[in-house]
Each structure stands twice: as structure tokens, then as C-alpha cells.
Amino acid sequence: MKIAKLAEQSQTSAKQIFEILKGIQHDTENTVQIMEQVTDEVQNGINVSEEAIEKFQTIVTSMREISPQIEAISVTAHQMSDEVQEVSAAADQLALFVKENAATSEEVAASTEEQLASMEEISASARSLANMAEELKELISTFTY
């Protein structure tokens, strides 16, 4: 009986060992699948990282290419600003010149009006003298006859 019992226990233990081994094999297969998935994900991560590196390198290259153009634009903007300031100063000077000329023109116009008034007075005086001379001539002619 002991042998039968031992045989039965051995068979039960063998079944348990088989089930344990079957579980280990199943867990190993799951672990292998998970490891393959992890490997795929890591490879995808590496690919994404490599693409990101390429993109950053492209960005850096583009920035290096654009940098001189940006500097040229900055220099041009400063030059334009200087030129605008020069034009503004010239416009201010022109405005001052125009104001001075306007004041001078007003003075000349006033002086011309005064001269015109004086000339009109002289003309009136000359006409009056001419009339007087004519009257004097007529008066003298009455004495000479």
C-alpha cells in the first residue's frame, strides 16, 4: 500500500509539476510577447527620437541659413530708421524755411501795398499839379493877349 500511495503521490506531484511547468511556460510566452512589444515600443521610440533629431538638425540648419538674412534685415531697418530721421529733419527745416518765406512774403506784400499807396498819392498829386499847371497856363494866357 505504501508503494501505491507513493505512486499516487508521485503521480499527483507530477501533475502538479506539469501544471506548474505549463503555467511557467505560459508566463514565459506572455513575458516573451511583452518583451517583443516592449522591444517594438523601444524601437518606435528610437525611431521617433531619430526623426526628432533630424527635425532639430533641420531647424538648426535653417536658423543658421536665416540668421544672416535676419541680420541684414536688421541693418536695413536701422538704415531706414536713420534715413527717416534725416527726412524728418529735412522736412522740419523745410517747414521752418516755408514759414520764414511766408513771413518775408507778408512783409514784402505789406511793403508793396505801402509803396502802391504812396505811388497812388504821388499820382494823385501829379494829376493835381497837372491840373494846376493847366489852370495856371490858362490864367497866364489871359494876361498875354
Note the pLDDT of residue 5. Answer: 84
Helices (H), the chain: 2-144
In this prediction the pTM is 0.44
pLDDT above 70 for 27 = yes
97 CA to centre of own chain: 35
What CA–CA distance (Å, rounded) separates 31 from 15? 24
pLDDT above 80 for 109 = yes
What CA–CA distance (Å, rounded) separates 28 from 123? 133
* Average confidence (pLDDT) over 31-42: 90
Angle at 115 between CA 119 and CA 128, to 5 degrees: 15
* Average confidence (pLDDT) over 92-119: 91
Burial class (CB in 10 A: 0-12, 13-18, 19+), 45: exposed
Note the pLDDT of residue 142. Answer: 82
What CA–CA distance (Å, rounded) separates 128 from 61? 98
pLDDT above 80 for 137 = yes
Confidence of residue 25 (pLDDT cuts 50, 70, 90): very high
Note the pLDDT of residue 140. Answer: 83
Note the pLDDT of residue 35. Answer: 92
Note the pLDDT of residue 144. Answer: 65
